[in-house]
Amino acid sequence: MASSSSQPKVVLLDIEGTVCPISFVKDVLFPYALSALPATLQAQWDKPEFSQYRNAFPAEHATSQEALTAHVKDLMSRDVKIAYLKSLQGYLWEAGYKSGELKAPLFDDVAPKFVEWKKDGKEIMIYSSGSVAAQKLLFKHTNGEPADLIPEISDFFDTVNAGPKQEASSYQTILSAHPEVPEASDWLFLSDNVKEAEAAKQAGMQSFVVERPGNAELSAEDREKHRVIKTFAEI
């Protein structure tokens, strides 16, 4: 276990495998997007409000509904994280969240800890590979109490406005966006991904690895190098 740490002023959170099960994205959100896609394309294809999503795709994949559907299926089968796909997924998920079909299954310790952190004057921010729009949908529609955690969150970062999550420069970008908390050591990043935790540490942040049910197995070396927590109650 890593050495003890000072109390952070900012808690920066990953989503999948940290605040909710990894399975929610792969087993619920992804299939929902694929099932909703054909009817959505049929209804929205020529509408002006949908054009921003369609036109963001490479031209050869936006020639028809069939071509776009095939490209989306290919990207999702390979779990490719690319901005135009993430934007479309967020658009599809929005309808599901609003209808109540989708609700983010947070781990039990998450919502109470959000309230406690805010009461203690800590800032809560999110950094996920999912788009900022998708992040906001997830935190607005949860199974927690309160269900809408958006008011507790100060900022959202993704791979577009911050950069790749396994690169230290991305965490430096996040730091530079908040000069009111200039000391990197006042930031705590929580993630299930060891390489992300290492990148945050390289940028000077504190970082713990979160071990949740369904997450990838951690090695003995991982446990030696990083503080590992099973629940936010340990913080």
Dihedral (C-alpha) 11, 153, 194, 32: value to the nearest 10 degrees? Answer: 170
Is 140 known to sit in a ligand binding site? no
Say if residue 219 carries a ligand binding annotation: no
Is there a binding annotation on residue 183? no
108 is in an annotated binding site: no
Is residue 129 a known part of a binding site? yes
Q: How far apart are CA 188 and CA 157, in angstroms?
A: 15
Residue 109 half-sphere exposure toward CB, CA atoms < 13 A? 12
Confirm or deny that 165 is annotated as ligand binding: yes
Q: What are the distances in angstroms from CA 186 to CA 25, 56, 61, 63, 122?
A: 30, 38, 45, 49, 10
| CA–CA gap between residue 205 and residue 201 (Å, rounded) | 5
- Residues belonging to the binding site are 14, 16, 128-129, 165, 192
- Residues belonging to the binding site for Mg(2+) are 14, 16, 192
- Residues belonging to the binding site for substrate are 128-129, 165
